[in-house]
Amino acid sequence: MKALTIFKAVTKNWMRSRSGLFFSILFPVLLLIVFGSIFSGIGGSSQYRLFIQNFDLNTANGELSDLSKAFIQALNSTEAFGITDIPAGENATEYAREVLGPLGGNMRILQISEGFQGDLLNGTLKVRIGIIYDTIQYFEPYLTSEQKMAVMQGLTQIQQFNASIPDAKASLMIMLDPADQSAAMVKSIVMSVANAFNYELIGAENVVEFNETSVTTKRYSNVDFYIPGITAAFIMTNGIIALTATTTEFKRRGIIKRLSITPLTKLDWIIGNVLSQTLLNLLLTGIMIALGWVIFNVRVIPDVLSIVLILLGSIMFSGIGMTLSGFIKDVEAASAIGNAIAFPMMFLSGTYFPLEIMPSYVQAISKALPLTYFSEGLKHAMIYQNPEGVYLNMAIVAVLAVVFIIIGSLVTRWKEK
């Protein structure tokens, strides 16, 4: 009960503080808008940009083959792609780079080779997909074991297929950037379209309808990744910067002392503060998701796991904040130290840039940072809807939450010296 009173009081006090609101809510919102816009184009749909270069011409009239056009049509109808054509005479990568511009995002090029129609008309499953693609290891942690199995199986099949027709060239070639977080998704959509196309041509019955395939394939964009990333980062700063600063301020101004003279216990004080942080963080998450929805047309649906994770993260970072303020006397030092810890952590935990593209020593450091596990877990829960990817991260966050909340309570002084 008293914890609830404290919760209400500190929350109200925070809600009425403009700088508090700015740093805890408005700043992350601005950041999401800025990051989201740079990397996806504001108002843009969540389609993957895909360049297609079609080399399959009719020998008779020199025009693009009907089946290759139909294939592109099929890709288009998935609505998963924003397709840009590259004329057959151009150097595909240079052309794409030019179109994309300096901040244009990931390069994904599908080349339809000469002989695509011919292969299909031979009535076999001979359409083969070659992938210039080494991101499978990179993407591995994001996949469930089932997905992994499927991918591996698919790859093996392709290889076997390749082996069975040694001389044939791949009639579809897809080029992807290893740093592209959506590479696996793009690849799998193209593959499923190609498969559906094959099946339909050979008249196979009861094959999963193409449209359904595309529906079950969830589409992601960069904004998807920034929503849990930025949310996690600011749940971290709310604990490590904001809570540290306010607690130090409360301590310095004797507010904690004033409360400690009443029958209020230290435990109730701590619970009240953690509850307040949790509410603030749920609010932040809600706003970030709503923003993704309204501005970027991205639908992230938080499930129970995400909410539990946010609760645990709030406890963990509140614990860290309380631990810090146990050792700090003045408010300026509190925010300086909070910033000095929070900002490097933000960038070293793969919040803004995927860890996979970071140097290995950064990856090693990231393993020691609580935010890494929290933001990874949140990505799995909110974006990949992949519970298996959540559990380990969640367990680590839970353990750290317990550890820090205990240290935080021990160093919170309820008595003078």
Q: Name the pairing type of β-strands 108-112 and 129-132.
A: unpaired
Q: Shortest Cβ distance from residue 258 to another protein (Å)?
A: 6
Q: Hey, which residues between 212 and 271 contact another protein (CB under 8 A)?
A: 253-255, 257-264
> Is 264 or 291 the residue whose CB approaches another protein more closely?
264
Q: Shortest Cβ distance from residue 268 to another protein (Å)?
A: 9
User: Which residues have CB under 8 Å from 159's CB, separation 6+?
Assistant: none
> Is 14 or 225 the residue whose CB approaches another protein more closely?
14
**Encoded tokens for 111:** 């080349």
> Is 123 or 254 the residue whose CB approaches another protein more closely?
254
> Is 53 or 260 the residue whose CB approaches another protein more closely?
260
273 lies in the site for another protein, by CB under 8 A: no
**CA dihedral sign, ordered 380, 385, 388, 390:** positive
169 lies in the site for another protein, by CB under 8 A: no
Strands of 129-276 (E only): list them.
Answer: 129-132, 172-176
Contact characters 339-358, another protein, x per CB under 8 A: --------------------
> Is 216 or 417 the residue whose CB approaches another protein more closely?
417
User: Which residues have CB under 8 Å from 251's CB, separation 6+?
Assistant: 257, 325, 413
Burial class (CB in 10 A: 0-12, 13-18, 19+), 408: buried
**CA dihedral sign, ordered 209, 210, 215, 217:** positive
Q: Shortest Cβ distance from residue 14 to another protein (Å)?
A: 8
Closest CA to 284 of 247, 239, 324: 239
> Is 263 or 359 the residue whose CB approaches another protein more closely?
263
Q: How far apart are CA 170 and CA 127, in angstroms?
A: 7
**Helical ranges in 165-221 per DSSP H:** 183-201, 210-216
Backbone angles phi, psi at 49, to 5 degrees: -80, 130
How distant, in Å, are the alpha carbons of 196, 198, 202 from that of 205?
Answer: 11, 12, 9
Number of residues that bind another protein (CB under 8 A): 25
329 lies in the site for another protein, by CB under 8 A: no
Q: Shortest Cβ distance from residue 36 to another protein (Å)?
A: 32
Q: Shortest Cβ distance from residue 320 to another protein (Å)?
A: 23
**81 SS3 class:** strand
> 112 - beta bridge partners?
54, 172
**Encoded tokens for 353:** 């840039």
Q: Shortest Cβ distance from residue 328 to another protein (Å)?
A: 18
Q: Shortest Cβ distance from residue 15 to another protein (Å)?
A: 8
76 lies in the site for another protein, by CB under 8 A: no
Q: Hey, which residues between 2 and 61 contact another protein (CB under 8 A)?
A: 2, 5, 9-10, 12-17
Closest CA to 28 of 289, 339, 256: 289
148 lies in the site for another protein, by CB under 8 A: no
Q: Shortest Cβ distance from residue 274 to another protein (Å)?
A: 18
> Is 62 or 417 the residue whose CB approaches another protein more closely?
417
Q: How far apart are CA 155 and CA 178, in angstroms?
A: 17
Q: Shortest Cβ distance from residue 257 to another protein (Å)?
A: 6
> Is 73 or 417 the residue whose CB approaches another protein more closely?
417
Which residues of the shown chain bind another protein in the complex (CB under 8 A)?
Answer: 2, 5, 9-10, 12-17, 253-255, 257-264, 414-417
